[in-house]
C-alpha cells in the first residue's frame, strides 16, 4: 500500500465522470502582501479572475514566486492560489510541528476534500468564485527554516519510489468572487481521462 497522503481520506474517492463528487468547506483563509513564509489569517478574501488573491504578494497574471521570476518573469502564473487540506495540518501537529492555518503560506485551508488526489483541471467552486487546479506545491527549504524536519514531513515515497508531495495544491482563478471562512466548496471533475497532478 502506498503511504497515506490524506489523513481522513474519503472512502468513496472519485467515481468516473465529471459531475460534482465531493463537498468540503473553507476552514481558514490567509493573505500576505509581502513574500513572507507565513500569511495572516483573515475572515474573507477576494479572488480576482486570472490573477489570484487580491492583496496577496502572489497575485498577478505572470509568475510572482521569486524563484520562478528569476528564471523567466513572463511565465504565466499557475500558482495564483495555494490550498492545503486541514487534515495535513492535523497530522503535522500530532507529530509536534508548530503549524496552523496560514503558517505554511497557503491562502485557503480546506476540510473534507482530498486535494492531493484531484486531477489536473478539476474545478473548485466557492460561492461565485471558481478555481481550476493546476498542480502540486513543491515543498521548499523555507519549511525547514521555519521548523527543522518539516520538509521531510510533507514528502513521502510510494512503493515504486516516486516522490509524493503533500504540501498542498495550486490553482488559478477562472471566476472571481469573495470567499469566506466556512463557505462550502464543491468539486467538479474535468472530462476523462483524468491527468494526475504534478508540481508547478
User: With bands split at pLDDT 50, 70 and 90, how would you rate the model's confidence at 16?
Assistant: very low
Q: How many residues does the chain have?
A: 200
Q: What is the pLDDT of residue 67?
A: 77
Give the Cα separation of 155 and 51 in Å (integer): 28
Lowest mean pLDDT segment, chosen from 6-15, 79-88, 104-113, 142-151: 6-15
C-alpha dihedral (199, 184, 172, 196), degrees to nearest 10: 30
159-187 tens-digit pLDDT: 999 899 999 999 999 999 999 999 999 99
Confidence check: pLDDT of 11 > 90: no
Domains and CATH numbers, the chain: 20-188 (2.40.33.20)
Measured at the CA of 173, the angle between CA 168 and CA 176, to 5 degrees, comes to 130
Q: E strands along the chain, which residues?
A: 20-31, 40-42, 44-48, 52-53, 81-85, 108-111, 123-126, 129-136, 155-157, 163-165, 169-175, 177-180, 184-188
Cα–Cα distance between 82 and 137 in angstroms, integer?
Answer: 8
In the three-class reduction of DSSP (H, G, I as helix; E, B as strand; rest coil), residue 136 is classed as strand
Identify the pLDDT of residue 20.
52
Q: What pTM, to 2 d.p., does this model score?
A: 0.89
Amino acid at each position: 500500500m502506498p503511504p497515506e497522503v490524506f489523513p481522513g481520506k474519503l472512502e468513496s474517492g472519485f467515481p468516473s465522470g465529471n459531475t460534482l463528487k465531493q463537498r468540503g468547506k473553507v476552514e481558514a483563509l490567509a493573505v500576505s502582501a509581502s513574500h513572507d513564509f507565513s500569511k495572516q489569517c483573515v475572515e474573507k478574501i477576494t479572488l480576482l479572475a486570472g490573477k489570484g488573491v487580491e492583496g496577496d504578494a502572489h497575485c498577478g497574471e505572470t509568475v510572482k514566486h521569486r524563484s520562478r521570476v528569476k528564471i523567466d518573469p513572463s511565465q504565466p502564473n499557475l500558482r495564483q492560489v495555494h490550498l492545503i487540506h486541514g487534515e495535513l495540518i492535523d497530522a503535522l501537529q500530532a507529530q509536534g510541528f508548530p503549524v496552523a492555518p496560514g503558517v505554511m503560506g497557503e491562502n485557503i485551508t480546506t476540510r473534507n476534500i482530498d486535494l492531493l488526489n484531484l486531477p489536473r483541471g478539476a474545478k473548485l467552486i466557492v460561492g461565485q468564485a471558481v478555481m481550476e487546479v493546476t498542480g502540486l506545491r513543491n515543498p521548499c527549504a523555507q519549511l525547514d527554516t521555519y521548523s527543522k524536519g518539516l520538509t521531510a514531513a510533507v514528502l513521502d515515497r510510494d512503493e515504486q519510489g516516486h516522490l509524493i508531495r503533500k504540501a498542498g495544491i495550486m490553482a488559478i482563478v477562472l471566476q472571481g468572487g469573495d470567499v469566506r471562512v466556512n463557505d462550502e466548496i464543491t468539486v467538479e471533475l474535468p472530462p476523462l481521462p483524468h491527468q494526475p497532478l504534478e508540481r508547478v
